[in-house]
Amino acid sequence: MDRLVVSHGGGCHLRLLAGNADGLRNVLVVGRSNRSFRSIQIDRLAAQMRDWGFAVWRLEPQPTPPKEGAAIPPGSHGSACSSMMTAMSSAVSRCIPKVFGYYPSWADYLSPSYAQVIERRDEVQSMLDQFPVSARFLLLGHSMGARVGTYLDRQSRVSGHVGFGYPFQHPEEGPALSRVYHLRKLKVPTLIIQGRNDAYGGEEVARTYRFNPSISFLFVEDDHSYNSACSNLTWQITTRVGAFIAETQGGLPCEHSCGRPDDQPDQLVGKEGKSKSCRTLAVS
């Protein structure tokens, strides 16, 4: 297995940002639908988790698209029946918003948003399957990435999930079944960090929807971007996540902030595009 990149031949790959590629305790950062968007608070948390002893990976788009005429990866050729079903689904999917102006809750499973989540889930699952069966991943998702994580609860290598800004509802279209219905059966330990001013659902979501007891919440003073540089917010998030890991993941890989070896390359990058040391991003 490549030490830095794990790919499945599709449109994205997993890149090792910090830690040991062969480690058993890993964090996988899965970002928003706009994968170029970065969050200060999530970057800080990822750096702290590195200091706790986790190997940190991030889902990234492939740097260049396949050239025209390039070979299609094995398994991408669907059967005639599958292609027909996909075409029919696409046709119905295009008609619904023309009739209703949006996707009603009952039709949300036909929406492009849901299809994108399932496609991203399948990509991540395929890449996680390349790791040893003993490897464990704590997912760190944001927005659509958090939604993707909740559909990976049956992946044996996923041991937990920390989701920022879970999109419980669309700001313009409202609630949708595919965003919330499965959460009542989610069994993987999950911590959802939700901004009280998040347009995709604030503190009221805890009273509005039904959740499996495996899901816990931390509500913070932030919006959907989680881009505040407030050190108090960083402390609040890392303290709660540390407790969540201790409670559900058998403790931290190292009990004290251990930093990284001097010869370990560090690719955790801040908003300014400069490499951040553990002293810069970690909470003291």
Top mean pLDDT of 33-42, 109-118, 232-241 is at 232-241
Q: 12 lies in a domain?
A: yes
Q: 77 lies in a domain?
A: no
pLDDT of residue 97 exceeding 60:
no
Q: 193 lies in a domain?
A: yes
**Alpha-carbon gap, residue 22 to 6, rounded angstroms:** 12
Q: Which residues contact 242 (CB under 8 A, 6 or more apart)?
A: 52, 252
The total number of structural domains that make up the chain: 1
Q: 47 lies in a domain?
A: yes
The CATH number for 197's domain is 3.40.50.1820
Q: 81 lies in a domain?
A: no
| CA 123 to chain CA centroid, nearest Å | 12
Q: Which residues contact 74 (CB under 8 A, 6 or more apart)?
A: 9
Question: Mean pLDDT, to the nearest integer, of 67-78?
Answer: 46
pLDDT of residue 149 exceeding 90:
yes
Question: Mean pLDDT, to the nearest integer, of 118-131?
Answer: 91
* Mean pLDDT computed over every residue of the chain: 78
Q: 180 lies in a domain?
A: yes
Q: 105 lies in a domain?
A: no
Q: 229 lies in a domain?
A: yes
Which pTM does this prediction carry?
0.76
Top mean pLDDT of 6-10, 17-21, 148-152, 278-282 is at 148-152
Could you list the residue range(s) of the whole structural domain that residue 161 is in? 5-63+113-281
What is the DSSP track for 134-201? T-EEEEEEETHHHHHHHT-TT-TTEEEEEEES---EETTTEE-HHHHGGGGS--S-EEEEEETT-TT-
The two structure tokens encoding residue 151: 């559909």
**Alpha-carbon gap, residue 15 to 35, rounded angstroms:** 13
Q: Over pLDDT 70: what percentage of the chain? A: 69
pLDDT of residue 249 exceeding 60:
yes
pLDDT of residue 32: 82
pLDDT of residue 255: 54
